[in-house]
Amino acid sequence: MKKGTVYEGIIERVDFPNKGIVHIPEEDKDVIVKNGIPGQKIRFVINKFKKGKAEGRLLEVLEKSPLETREPVCSIFPECGGCMYQTMPYEEQVKMKEGQIRRIMDEAVQGEYVFEGVKSSPKEFGYRNKMEFSFGDEYKDGPLSLGLHKKGSTYDVLTAADCRLVHEDMNRILVCVLEYFKERNVGYYKKMQHVGYLRHLLLRRGDTTGEILVSLVTTTQEEHDLEPLVKELLKLELEGKIVGILHILNDSLADVVKSDETRILYGQDYFYEKLLGLEFKITPFSFFQPNTRGAEVLYETVREYIGDIHDMTVFDLFSGTGTISQVLAPVAKQVVGVEIVEEAVEAAKENAARNGISNCKFIAGDVFQVLDELEEKPDVIVLDPPRDGIHPKALPKILSYGVDRIVYISCKMTSLARDLEMMQIAGYRVEKMTAVDQFCETVHCEVVALMTRGEIEVAI
């Protein structure tokens, strides 16, 4: 098997995150081909070998999968990298994710554990309360576009005027902003040359409140009058209501959405969202679960997994805007949230006060350092780390508390599998696990694991 060789085959299954497995009988080898659907007959070219495994690049779908029984619901599928599985019935997507989790976790977990399946999102479409759209062009030197990157491309951007992952309000705002800058012939920021003006459009919309925050992200290389854009946006007929329009200045060389300076063009720099009867103030960069209705299912699951915490101190590590802390506070003695993003911690404190919760304490800082300074000792720990999991230096500190129960929420199952190794060596056993599909049509899924500390034999 050599680089550049073209093969045809059927995707037998898709492993997390989007690794299609194709068996080549004549070579008696499996090849990983990304961006396919189980059951598709495809043509692909071998383009690299990684850790002894062959990887191929998808050239063409020769035959649709028997699982593809639906028509695409937007105009840029399947080229767009935002979605993978819209042509599969939702039940099949959930079933596929369940298989992916089991294959990874059955290998990572020592001993028996209960897997309780994947809980579906209450909304399949229009569920995302946050979206980062990029400015660019659909092809080299093409007209200005605003939307999502093509699959496998860091440069080509497809205009997502009818994206179904978000509410229609967001699509209307996107079209308005794109047309405004197209008419004025304003260019986008070119990542390689580091020149240009338009970078991103960050939209956040409360699913329960309908409040919308519009953030235009640009460089400082040019100056444009944005007052007419504000007027255009406020004239739009929307189901929700724009409560703030921001101009975020970002001269970072990296292709990330961040702020060197934020100017309020209209209204305020926050919006409100409600979740499980609590109200949360959310700022442009504070973390909040992107699927509000799915987050309610997720947090109800966490509450169920954590069990009776009456008269107990709970550590909520990587606490974001304090959503989990406040969901657990009414049934706990005290909750201590630790989060590295200061803006999120300020929002968490304000949210707790707004919701009349007085037994939550929020600390801004790196978990690794904050744990050394805390006088409190936890009885139970909730972990909701970023995608890459817990830093290997922080995990031993967390485990050294020796609490009886840990609930780990993971948005990347391979990171959880890696962290489980150290946790099991430390004497923790995976009691049960479930998942909540917060990201319909995509490769991602939230996994929740309950770990208990007991007398078990640990293979080291």
Q: How far apart are CA 57 and CA 44, in angstroms?
A: 5
For residue 212, with 0-12 CB atoms within 10 Å meaning exposed, 13-18 middle and 19 or more buried, which class applies?
A: buried
Which candidate, 205, 201, 231, 230, places its Cα nearest to that of 218? 201
Task: Choose the catalytic residue: 74, 80, 163, 411.
Answer: 411
Told to judge if 83 belongs to the known catalytic residues of this protein, a careful annotator would answer no
**Contact criterion met (CB below 8 Å) for 82 and 148:** yes
Closest listed residue to residue 337, CA positions, set 327, 348, 353: 348
**Cα torsion 360, 361, 363, 367: sign:** negative
Looking at this protein, which amino acid is placed at residue 36?
G
- Burial of residue 32 (number of CB atoms within 10 Å: 0-12, 13-18, 19+): middle
Token look-up 């969202």 returns 273
Report, as residue numbers or ranges, the catalytic residues: 411
